Each structure stands twice: as structure tokens, then as C-alpha cells.
């Protein structure tokens, strides 16, 4: 089975409150996601952006998605009712890289993090 990877950009990153959930995952490297935008909407939110938009984060090898999906409010059997969707993105290395894409409405007060860093 091909290994799976998770790109994290917010509270799951090193030094943030939910990083403890990454204990069973293997840090690979820092990573940048192109074509998506990071917003602060009281929590980190990534949505489809312009080609020039970037999100900076970390890449991890993942063996078990259960607690990560639960934390992010992703329910594979109820994608429409999920707060985030776990999606994959193409990359030059042909790795199976996923990230959590926001699936809900953003508030009017959401602020774009133009530097792409949470």
C-alpha cells in the first residue's frame, strides 16, 4: 500500500495546541500548498484560492486517520455535514498528500493570512 501523507497548516502544526494528535505520525518536512488561501475565521481555514496564493505548513506520514478526521470534523460517510473535507492534491513527487479543506461558510470577519502562515 502506498504511504499517505497529511499537510497540516494550523493547530496540528508543531508548537500549536492540537499537535499532540500528530504523535503517531512521522514528520517529513516543511511544505507549501499553492493555489489555496489561509484565513483566520476563529480557527484556521483553507479554501481554494488564486494561483498566487500559498499556505505554508508541515508534511507528515500518516498511518491512521481516525483521530485526525474526528478532530477536523471530517466524516467520510457524511461529507456534506463535515466541517472540513480531507482532499488530496497533485504534486511532482506523486505522493498521496491530503489536507483538510474547509467545508463550511466563512464569517464576514474572516481575515486572509496573506503570508500563508498560521
Q: Is 14:58 a contact under the CB 8 Å cutoff?
A: yes
Sequence ranges of the domains in the chain = 4-112
Residues 58-86 pLDDT 10s: 999 999 999 999 999 999 999 999 999 99
Top CATH class of 4-112 equals alpha beta
pLDDT tier at 1, thresholds 50, 70, 90: low
Residues 10-63 pLDDT 10s: 999 999 999 999 999 999 999 999 999 999 999 999 999 999 999 999 999 999
Look at residues 113, 93, 89, 115 and name the one whose alpha carbon lies nearest to residue 101: 89
pLDDT given for residue 94 in this prediction: 86
Go through 18-30 and write b for each residue having 16 or more CB atoms within 10 A of its CB, e for each that does not: eeebbeebeebee
Beta-strand ranges (E) seen in the chain are 4-8, 26-34, 36-40, 44-48, 54-62, 84-88, 96-102, 111-112
Amino acid at each position: 500500500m502506498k504511504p499517505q501523507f497529511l499537510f497540516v497548516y494550523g493547530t496540528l502544526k508543531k508548537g500549536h495546541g492540537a499537535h499532540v494528535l500528530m504523535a503517531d505520525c512521522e514528520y517529513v518536512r516543511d511544505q507549501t500548498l499553492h493555489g489555496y488561501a489561509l484565513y483566520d475565521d476563529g480557527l484556521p481555514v483553507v479554501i481554494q484560492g488564486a494561483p498566487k496564493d500559498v499556505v505554508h505548513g508541515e508534511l507528515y506520514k500518516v498511518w491512521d486517520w481516525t483521530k485526525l478526521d474526528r478532530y477536523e470534523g471530517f466524516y467520510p460517510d457524511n461529507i456534506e455535514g463535515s466541517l472540513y473535507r480531507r482532499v488530496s492534491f497533485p504534486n511532482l513527487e506523486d505522493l498521496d498528500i491530503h489536507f483538510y479543506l474547509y467545508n463550511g461558510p466563512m464569517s464576514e470577519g474572516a481575515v486572509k493570512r496573506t503570508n500563508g502562515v498560521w
